[in-house]
Amino acid sequence: MGVETPLLTNNHSNHEDEKPVSYVKEFGHESKRLWKLAGPAIFTSICQYSLGALTQTFAGFVGELELAAVSVENSVIAGLAFGVMLGMGSALETLCGQAYGAGSIRMLGVYMQRSWVILLTTACLLVPIYVWSPPILEAIGETDEISEAAGKFALWMLPQLFAYALNFPIQKFLQAQRKVLVMAWISAVVLVIHTFFSWFLILKLGWGLTGAAITLNISWWLIVITQLLYIFITKSDGAWAGFSWLAFADLWGFVKLSLASAVMLCLEFWYLMILVVITGRLQNPLIPVDAISICMNIQGWDAMIALGFNAAISVRVSNELGAGNFKTAKFAVIVVSVTSVAIGVVCMSVVFATRDYFPYLFTSSEAVAVETTKLAVLLGITVLLNSLQPVLSGVAVGAGWQAIVAYINIGCYYIVGLPAGILLGFTFGFGAEGIWSGMIGGICLQTLILIVVTSITNWRREAEQAETRVKKWGGGSTGED
């Protein structure tokens, strides 16, 4: 990410020949643009992540088995589905963002409908994993007790799977147009409703896992339905022109791009979730699984900050490349990297400072709390690394590099990091700490490679490729029917 003298920018215009301004001043301008997108996106991500995390927290006050059941279902079953849906939906970040930057507004609605067709079909294919989750969990090493409880909860969570299929294309559609405040308000209202009814059904009425499933499903569908009503009523400034048979045109080409996006993001999203699964194979796994789950809960909340920056930089890069403003796209990458790392340092410091206290927010078990405190150092390091890594992935999505990053992820995560974690955890007897330490090594390697790839990128050529991509996917005619 070499530094060039940046340029003041205006969207939807080619302004690469405008007069240069001071580096510090332009950093401030770009930072303001970034936060207008990242602020609401972070808030939305935290609210939506908190739906599952709060359910997990309330389950922890019911009992250790209930906490383990919700944790494993969230991390493994729903986590797998979330990764697939988020990944496949992220194809829209490239297409919608670059089409919007090029002024081809009408195609955004068509892209979203194509994504719905693909994701709803994928959701149907994932149903058997929910139905037969107990034997699947047992096969990967979970105890019979945890597998049965998590499997029952997974079956009740099938409606959430189809909410994911509709929600992620909607989010990418709105993000590309920078309508992030709409999603933030909707998510905030739903979170308030979810918190009250989770307490009421799970603890007050004593419905346990049944109450958890009811509130979590309803909350996700409230988000989907409210966002759809907004799009249908406002027409999203012309981006929504109604349902169209074009949604079924060139589906195979769209599937290929969606699969590349899914592979890239799933390999990232599942990586730390695998921690919970591997930890389940340790002797006496209930306490380590609960401790790892609490740490993953904290890490997940922190990751929502990085996910907000991921969305923001994806929009900035795709919009600017679509408009032909390659220097602005490059400078946006520098600004978001500096900002996210600074926030990562602060979050790591908070984890270190509160490591003796935060476990008790999630459990009343002294043994689980002590084990969680032991893992807090690794949690802090992971929080710092994950401040930059998702941001660089957002750059890749905005520029359309999904396939390249997928190969990088396979090598770093699953050929280096995961085997190292298993070796340290089981062969050398370091347990959960060893498993996590090895996997941190994979994150370090992947982050370093992405820094190098981003640094040597020819951004002028990326802008030219974005123009070609917009024309290929039907945007060259300005999206008019």
Separation between Cα atoms, residue 281 and residue 265, nearest integer Å: 26
- CB within 8 Å of 1: residues ≥ 6 apart: 330, 333, 334, 337, 451, 454, 455
- Which of the pair, 471 or 9, is modelled with greater confidence? 471
| Paired strand residues for 7 | 20
pLDDT category at 71 given cuts 50, 70, 90 is confident
Res 18 pLDDT > 70: no
**Average pLDDT, integer, range 458-479:** 67
Separation between Cα atoms, residue 127 and residue 369, nearest integer Å: 35
* Domain assignment of residue 477, yes or no: no
Per-residue tokens: 290: 């609960």
Residue 327 has a pLDDT of 86
pLDDT category at 445 given cuts 50, 70, 90 is very high
Poorest-pLDDT segment among 120-124, 146-150, 295-299, 446-450: 295-299
End-to-end alpha-carbon separation of the chain, Å?
Answer: 40
* Domain assignment of residue 385, yes or no: yes
Helices (H), 235-325: 251-279, 286-322
Residue 93 has a pLDDT of 76
Res 461 pLDDT > 50: yes
* Domain assignment of residue 12, yes or no: no
Measured CA to CA in angstroms, residue 59 lies from 7, 194, 261, 439 at distances of 52, 14, 33, 28
Res 16 pLDDT > 60: no
* Domain assignment of residue 9, yes or no: no
pLDDT category at 198 given cuts 50, 70, 90 is very high
* Domain assignment of residue 445, yes or no: yes
Per-residue tokens: 403: 């396939």
Measured CA to CA in angstroms, residue 85 lies from 77, 124, 132 at distances of 13, 12, 20
Which runs of E-coded beta strand occur in 165-293?
Answer: none
* Domain assignment of residue 279, yes or no: yes
Separation between Cα atoms, residue 76 and residue 97, nearest integer Å: 31
Domains in the chain, number: 1
Res 158 pLDDT > 90: yes
Separation between Cα atoms, residue 157 and residue 178, nearest integer Å: 31
- Contact present, 238 and 106 (Cβ < 8 Å): yes
pLDDT category at 271 given cuts 50, 70, 90 is confident
For the segment 41-68, what is each residue's pLDDT rounded down to a tens digit? 889 988 988 898 888 888 888 877 888 8
For residue 27, give the 3-state DSSP assignment.
Answer: helix
* Domain assignment of residue 13, yes or no: no
For residue 422, give the 3-state DSSP assignment.
Answer: helix
Query: Pick from 368, 366, 364: which is nearest to 284 by CA?
Result: 368
* Domain assignment of residue 421, yes or no: yes
Separation between Cα atoms, residue 160 and residue 81, nearest integer Å: 10
pLDDT category at 21 given cuts 50, 70, 90 is low
Res 280 pLDDT > 80: no
Res 172 pLDDT > 50: yes
For residue 239, give the 3-state DSSP assignment.
Answer: coil
Residue 121 has a pLDDT of 92
* Cα-based angle 16, 30, 325 (whole degrees, multiple of 5): 25
Per-residue tokens: 65: 């088995």
**Average pLDDT, integer, range 361-370:** 84
Res 220 pLDDT > 90: yes
Residue 222 has a pLDDT of 96
For the segment 246-270, what is each residue's pLDDT rounded down to a tens digit? 778 777 777 877 787 777 777 777 7
Residue 128 has a pLDDT of 94
pLDDT category at 427 given cuts 50, 70, 90 is confident
- What is the average pLDDT value for the chain, to the nearest integer? 83
**CA dihedral angle for residue 277, residue 278, residue 281, residue 284, rounded to 10 degrees:** -80
| Paired strand residues for 20 | 7
Cα 410–chain centre separation: 18
Query: Pick from 173, 34, 5, 103: which is nearest to 323 by CA?
Result: 103
Res 226 pLDDT > 90: yes
Q: Residue 323: which H helix or E strand, with range?
A: none
> What's the chain's Rg over C-alpha atoms?
22
Owning domain of residue 270: 23-472
Global pTM reads 0.75
Separation between Cα atoms, residue 175 and residue 169, nearest integer Å: 10
For the segment 286-299, what is each residue's pLDDT rounded down to a tens digit? 788 888 878 887 88
Residue 193 has a pLDDT of 96
Poorest-pLDDT segment among 64-68, 106-110, 441-445, 465-469: 465-469
